[in-house]
Amino acid sequence: MNKLQHACTLWRDKDIDTMMSMKRDGFTDADIGEILGRTAKAVSVRHSKVMRRYEQGTRIKRYNEASDHAINTKLSDDWVDTIQEPDATPVADDNYVICIPRKAVLVVLVAVLVAASWYAGKYL
């Protein structure tokens, strides 16, 4: 089979399933490419993309499960008691931190300097 036969065709679900099952069985990219009519590099790249999407999906799923657990833990029946008992001594929080990106500060500084020099040049 000509390796360039599928050079410009999209990967079908059947091809991806075949590739993944062969990868699980221990076949090399060259062997898989031979069967699918693609190059070993194409098989390697497609496998990397499929695995990246799978890992991203599992990361999102784990994040959602962790956030659901945190929400369910905080919204248990005990949380009502903690809200109903007011704190007798409110504490003022003066530790505000504002994070402004350095690039934004530089852009504003340059804009102010340009405007000031233009304004000063207008009257000189």
Confidence band for 82, pLDDT divided at 50, 70 and 90: low
70 membership: H or E segment, kind and range:
helix 40-74
Q: Is the pTM value of this prediction over 0.85? A: no
**Mean pLDDT across the chain:** 76
Q: How far apart are CA 90 and CA 120, in angstroms?
A: 51
Structure letter (DSSP) for residue 122: H
Instruction: Identify the top-confidence range among 8-12, 34-38, 86-90.
Output: 34-38
pLDDT in tens, 44-61: 999 988 888 877 777 666
Instruction: Let me know: does 68 contact 36? Beta carbons within 8 Å.
Output: no
Per cent of the chain over pLDDT 70 is 59
Instruction: Let me know: does 18 contact 36? Beta carbons within 8 Å.
Output: yes
Instruction: Let me know: does 39 contact 33? Beta carbons within 8 Å.
Output: yes
